[in-house]
Amino acid sequence: VLPRHIAVIPDGNARWAARERKERIEGHWAGVAALRRLIENCANTDGIDVLTVYAISVENLERPEVETRWLLRLVAEVLRSDRKALIENGVRLRFIGELEMLPPELQRVLQTAESHGPAEDSE
């Protein structure tokens, strides 16, 4: 029996990079690749209706400014580049939390990603 809702907290990208003797940025890209695989697997598995990803915490925003800016740009870049694939897989995005803490440009990217997803099924 599969759960209808799966929730994940991506963590450990920097630790993975350090262990592999790679730059922190490479660790974050490896995390993106893993999340892409998870999204695709959930989208292609009957019975899994919801995937929650706790992606940006307040603690993430307290990292050094250069890393924080890079992480937020990464989120925006991935959402822009993956939008078509997400729609084709029937993935609908919804962002929750204190979005006003994010830079205005990222807020616009999130709003666009939410509004350009597949049509909502009646709930």
User: Active-site positions?
Assistant: 11, 60
Q: Give the integer Cα–Cα distance in Å for 80 and 112.
A: 9
SS3 (DSSP) at 51: strand
Strand stretches in the chain, DSSP E: 5-8, 50-53
Query: Which amino acid, residue 113?
Result: A
